[in-house]
């Protein structure tokens, strides 16, 4: 501080200086306090007289020669400043794109102390941040569902999952295209609303993951995590708790490839957050909540060798291996998955067919329409915006079955020996299938389709 102040030609007071960062029980970290400390010293040493700074916030790191450098978390901090009815915010120029998102508060991006002081003393006003809607090149641009040959059934399952926000698991032998399919899910997810974009961007801002010159994250996040991830890596943690992968997937997708390879503890850590849509991280000095409303997509082989149920290759696993393999996956986690779909390798003829399959853009149109119907239907319910989030009460109210559909479901229930949980899941999924068909009622054809996405339950009865 002393060097910076001297280097920019200001005066460092000779007296002893005590800086009190209050409240004391909140841990502070990072370079973010540089600029506010400098301004405080200026103010206390009467170098900024007759300037009212009471309704201003200052955020930024300083270099020794007085440049103001980018810091993490500008977006949520400005959102809070707005809440506190602060009028002026001075932020690092490098964070301008991010800071420009918050309106109704004067946001001044500034690159060095000199320009800041000139503004404060009224000699040269700083321009305010302007929101520029810079088009973002999607990182998924090269990916499209039209590159996946065949696989009508899994693609349809992903379309339903995207439309209704359902969790989905894909089960199939190695090389059948599970990872390929999952990676293309972001290309058909419904558009992000502005409110959702701000929420997600806040988490990226705190984590320092908002790319430079990016005001908002505009595409739903897709977080693919490796199975070696620790429980804290998933849920968030550290002495000053940072958002974990589940929060980075907020309003988007968390992809767990090779699900049985994950540590049991990592799977368990997902349970509560999947239910509550937020995660609570406890620390000595209090608890912290981060939102984590994500869609889970998981992929797994059906057995250790991978070839159980394969049309041409023989499974070489000993008896009981399938069950044992399945039991590695946490039961309560599987209970929260609405769609279970088998992915079998497509045969050579389909693979060598040059005919392009349906494009992601076309699928996305249907997904967007179906999601719009849901947003409209659940308008009065705060926490529900898609079918996956239906509560048992709402389920009864919004999933009215035709007589035929009811009979079919009853019969399936008896024939397939379904659990009560499976019943709710089939209802939710058939609600989404009906929405994709723009049908107010759930018809028997919708129920019939929903019943097909129960591959895991079938696997449980395998040898
Ligand atoms: N239906 C398909 N259409 C086009 N390519 C495919 C298809 N299925 C598999 N492939 C090819 O096989 C590769 C392996 O698939 P992958 O998604 O890694 O399988 P898995 O995750 O099920 O083991 C893919 O990257 C792709 O090149
Ligand atoms: Mg794979």
- Sheet of 106-110, strands arranged across: 56-58, 88-92, 106-110
Q: Which ligand is nearest to the CA of 176?
A: 1
Q: Which ligand is nearest to the CA of 347?
A: 1
- Please give the distance, rounded to the nearest whole angstrom, from the Cα atom of residue 174 to the centre of ligand 2: 6
HSE of 312, CA atoms in CB hemisphere, 13 A: 5
- Please give the distance, rounded to the nearest whole angstrom, from the Cα atom of residue 176 to the centre of ligand 2: 8
- Please give the distance, rounded to the nearest whole angstrom, from the Cα atom of residue 148 to the centre of ligand 1: 8
Q: Which ligand is nearest to the CA of 356?
A: 1
Please state whether beta strands 242-243 and 236-237 pair in parallel, antiparallel, or not at all (unpaired).
antiparallel
* Alpha-carbon dihedral sign for residues 172, 174, 176, 180: positive
- For residue 118, give every residue at least 6 positions away whose Cβ sits within 8 Å of its Cβ, in sequence order, or none: 124
The residues of the chain scoring below 70 in pLDDT are 133-141, 285, 458-463
* 178 within ligand 1 shell (Cβ under 6 A): yes
Q: Which ligand is nearest to the CA of 149?
A: 1
Nearest CA to ligand 1 atom 4: 148
Residue located via tokens 């129960």: 454
Atom of ligand 1 nearest to the CA of 174: 23
Please state whether beta strands 253-256 and 242-243 pair in parallel, antiparallel, or not at all (unpaired).
unpaired
Atom of ligand 1 nearest to the CA of 182: 17
- Domain 145-360, CATH number (from 3.40.50.12780, 3.40.50.300, 3.40.50.1010, 3.30.200.20): 3.40.50.300
- Please give the distance, rounded to the nearest whole angstrom, from the Cα atom of residue 252 to the centre of ligand 2: 20
* Ligand 1 pocket: which of 172, 174, 175 to mutate (most atoms within 8 A of CB): 175
Sequence ranges of the domains in the chain: 2-120, 145-360
Mean pLDDT of the chain: 89
- Please give the distance, rounded to the nearest whole angstrom, from the Cα atom of residue 309 to the centre of ligand 1: 17
Atom of ligand 1 nearest to the CA of 345: 8
Q: Are 217 and 225 in contact (CB under 8 A)?
A: no
- Please give the distance, rounded to the nearest whole angstrom, from the Cα atom of residue 298 to the centre of ligand 1: 16
* 172 within ligand 1 shell (Cβ under 6 A): yes
Tens-digit pLDDT profile for residues 295-340: 999 999 999 999 988 888 999 999 888 888 988 888 888 888 999 9
φ and ψ at residue 300, rounded to 5 degrees: -155, 155
Classify domain 2-120 at the CATH topology level.
Ribosomal Protein S5; domain 2 (3.30.230)
Give me the residues near ligand 2 (ion), CB cutoff below 5 Å: 179
Question: What pLDDT does residue 460 have?
Answer: 65
Question: What pLDDT does residue 459 have?
Answer: 67
Q: Are 242 and 236 in contact (CB under 8 A)?
A: yes
* 184 within ligand 1 shell (Cβ under 6 A): no
Q: Are 157 and 341 in contact (CB under 8 A)?
A: yes
Atom of ligand 1 nearest to the CA of 151: 1
Nearest CA to ligand 1 atom 10: 177
Tens-digit pLDDT profile for residues 166-208: 999 999 999 999 999 999 999 999 988 888 899 999 999 999 8
* 443 within ligand 1 shell (Cβ under 6 A): no
Q: Which pTM does this prediction carry?
A: 0.86
Helix axes 420-436, 152-164, angle to 10 degrees: 90
Nearest CA to ligand 1 atom 17: 177
Question: What pLDDT does residue 355 have?
Answer: 75
Nearest CA to ligand 1 atom 5: 148
As beta bridge partners, residue 237 has 242
From residue 312, give the alpha-carbon distance in Å to each of 1, 74, 139, 300, 346.
Answer: 71, 56, 36, 19, 11
Question: What pLDDT does residue 138 have?
Answer: 60
Give the SS3 label for residue 81. helix
φ and ψ at residue 243, rounded to 5 degrees: -60, 140
- Please give the distance, rounded to the nearest whole angstrom, from the Cα atom of residue 172 to the centre of ligand 2: 9
Question: What pLDDT does residue 153 have?
Answer: 93
* 151 within ligand 1 shell (Cβ under 6 A): yes
């Amino acid at each position: 501080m002393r060097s910076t102040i001297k280097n920019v030609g200001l005066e460092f007071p000779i007296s002893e200086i005590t800086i009190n960062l209050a409240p004391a029980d909140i841990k502070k970290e990072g370079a973010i306090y540089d600029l506010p400390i400098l301004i405080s010293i200026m103010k206390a040493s009467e170098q900024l007289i007759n300037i009212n700074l009471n309704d201003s916030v200052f955020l930024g790191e300083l270099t020794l020669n007085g440049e103001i450098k980018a810091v993490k978390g500008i977006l949520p901090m400005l959102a809070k400043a707005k809440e506190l009815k602060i009028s002026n915010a001075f932020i690092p120029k490098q964070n301008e794109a991010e800071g420009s998102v918050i309106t109704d508060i004067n946001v001044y991006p500034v690159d060095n102390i000199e320009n800041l002081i000139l503004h404060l003393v009224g000699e040269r006003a700083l321009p305010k941040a302007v929101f520029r809607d810079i088009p973002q090149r999607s990182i998924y641009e090269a990916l499209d569902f039209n590159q996946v040959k065949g696989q009508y059934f899994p693609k349809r399952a992903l379309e339903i999952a995207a439309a209704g926000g359902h969790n989905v698991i894909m089960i199939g032998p190695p090389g059948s295209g599970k990872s390929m399919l999952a990676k293309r899910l972001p290309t058909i997810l419904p558009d992000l609303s502005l409110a959702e974009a701000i929420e997600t961007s806040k988490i990226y801002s705190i984590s320092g993951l908002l790319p430079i010159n990016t005001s908002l994250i505009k595409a739903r996040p897709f977080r693919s995590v490796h199975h070696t991830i620790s429980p804290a890596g998933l849920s968030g943690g550290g002495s000053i708790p940072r958002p974990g992968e589940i929060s980075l997937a907020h309003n988007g997708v968390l992809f767990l490839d090779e699900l049985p390879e994950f540590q049991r503890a990592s799977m368990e850590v997902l349970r509560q957050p999947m239910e509550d849509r937020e995660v609570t991280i406890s620390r000595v000095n209090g608890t912290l909540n981060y939102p984590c409303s994500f869609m889970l997509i998981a992929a797994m082989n059906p057995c250790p060798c991978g070839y159980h149920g394969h049309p041409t290759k023989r499974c070489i696993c000993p008896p009981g291996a399938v069950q044992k393999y399945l039991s590695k996956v946490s039961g309560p986690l599987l209970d929260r998955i609405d769609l279970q779909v088998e992915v079998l390798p497509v045969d050579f003829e389909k693979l060598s067919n040059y005919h392009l399959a349906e494009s992601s853009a076309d699928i996305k149109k249907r997904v967007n329409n179906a999601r719009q119907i849901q947003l409209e239907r659940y308008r009065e319910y705060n926490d529900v915006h898609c079918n996956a989030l239906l509560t048992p009460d709402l389920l009864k109210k919004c999933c009215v079955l035709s007589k035929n559909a009811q009979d079919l479901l009853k019969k399936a229930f008896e024939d397939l020996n379904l659990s009560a949980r499976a019943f709710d899941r089939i209802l939710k999924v058939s609600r989404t299938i009906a929405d994709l068909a723009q049908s107010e009622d759930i018809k028997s054809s919708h129920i019939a389709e929903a019943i097909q996405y129960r591959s895991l339950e079938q696997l449980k009865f395998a040898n």
